[in-house]
């Protein structure tokens, strides 16, 4: 069994991005700038946005966090989105979700200019991804595929089961893994809460991506020997000595059966942030949408 080390891989990619930023600076080009919009005080969201800011600083990006009170109205947030859409100094921005319940996330995400949608959630970018056109890929699915490629894990012709059909992870990663590209060409089965017998599917799988949001959902009896497991879940539990993190996979019992497996933490999480940086770099260079 070999661990798929997202922390190490993301560090390598950050170093590659930092080199490109140095080259941009040397040629007197403006360095990329990423802005995060945070509404309210959700703990996990604040942690993610802080990590994003630190990652930006490490690679030489400009970065800014716009933090608003939870009482902010939907119209007020739409006005902030429009300001960022029209700010030529901002290459990309994210509106951190979840948003307060009185704000419609779909309305907000669709108001973002696709050219600055470095989260890759806008329908235009999702459509381009589905068609195999150049686009900003959703950060977590892109990070998963990048991990598989960098560990030389063969996906072509393999049976891949994705557990979870969210628009953020499950559905887009199922599309990426099935595309006719490097890191794709898998035969993909997308399982979810209404799938009658998930175990019957996972026992046939060479690669399993688990993003269902349930602690220790994938157990050892659901996995064949030699399978590759990617755990997207993260669950925080308070312990006497601090916070303990768990994934959607029962790591302790599943890992011995695997050829490769991602840990929690230190697996997919760091790759999500670095994928966001990669999209921002593409935006700054005008490689997807011309400046």
Query: Can you tell me the distance from the alpha carbon of 234 to that of 46, in angstroms, rounded to the nearest whole number?
Result: 15
Instruction: Answer whether 101's CB lies under 8 Å from 42's CB.
Output: no
Please identify which of the residues 96, 117, 206, 250 carries the catalytic annotation.
96
Catalytically annotated residue among 5, 119, 206, 250? 119
CA angle 178, 279, 122 (to 5 degrees): 70
Binding residues for NADP(+): 164-166, 234
Is 231 labeled as catalytic in the residue annotation? no
Q: How does DSSP assign the chain, residue by residue?
A: -EE--HHHHHHHHHHHHHHHHHHHHHTTPPPPEEEEEEES--HHHHHHHHHHHHHHHHHT-EEEEEEE-TT--HHHHHHHHHHHHT-TT--EEEE-SSPPTTS-HHHHHHHS-GGG-TT--SHHHHHHHHHT-S-PPPHHHHHHHHHHHHTT---TT-EEEEE---TTTHHHHHHHHHSSSTT---EEEEE-TT-S-HHHHHTT-SEEEE-S--TT-B-GGG--TT-EEEE---EEEEETTEEEEE-SB-HHHHGGG-SEE--SSSSHHHHHHHHHHHHHHHHHHTSSS--
Active site residue 119: yes
* Environment class of 144 (CB within 10 Å of its CB; exposed 0-12, middle 13-18, buried 19+): buried
Q: Is 104 among the catalytic positions?
A: no
From 52, 116, 231, 250, the catalytic residue: 52
Active site residues: 52, 96, 119
């Amino acid at each position: 069994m070999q661990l798929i080390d997202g922390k190490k891989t993301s560090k390598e990619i950050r170093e590659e991005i930092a080199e490109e930023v140095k080259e941009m600076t040397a040629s007197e080009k403006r360095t990329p700038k990423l802005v995060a919009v945070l509404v309210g005080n959700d703990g996990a969201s604040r942690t993610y946005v802080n990590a994003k800011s630190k990652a930006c600083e490490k690679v030489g990006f400009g970065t800014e966090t716009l933090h608003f009170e939870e009482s902010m109205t939907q119209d007020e947030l739409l006005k902030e989105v429009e300001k960022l859409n029209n700010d030529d100094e901002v290459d990309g921005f994210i509106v951190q979700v979840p948003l307060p319940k009185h704000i419609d996330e779909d309305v907000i995400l669709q108001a973002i200019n696709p050219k600055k949608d470095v989260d890759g959630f806008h329908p235009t970018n999702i459509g381009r991804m589905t068609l195999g056109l150049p686009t900003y890929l959703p950060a977590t699915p892109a990070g998963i595929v990048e991990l598989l490629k960098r560990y030389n894990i063969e996906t072509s012709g393999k049976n891949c089961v994705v557990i979870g059909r969210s628009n953020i992870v499950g559905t887009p990663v199922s599309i990426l893994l099935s595309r006719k590209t490097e890191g794709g060409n898998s035969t993909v089965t997308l399982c979810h809460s209404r799938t009658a017998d998930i175990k019957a599917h996972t026992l046939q799988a060479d690669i399993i991506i688990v993003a269902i949001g349930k602690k220790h959902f994938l157990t050892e009896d659901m996995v064949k020997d030699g399978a590759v497991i990617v755990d997207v879940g993260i669950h925080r539990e308070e312990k006497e000595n601090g916070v303990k993190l768990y994934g959607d996979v029962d790591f302790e019992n599943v890992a011995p059966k695997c050829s490769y497996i991602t840990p929690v933490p230190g697996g997919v999480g760091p790759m999500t942030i670095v994928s966001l940086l990669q999209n921002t770099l593409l935006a700054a260079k005008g490689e997807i949408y011309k400046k």
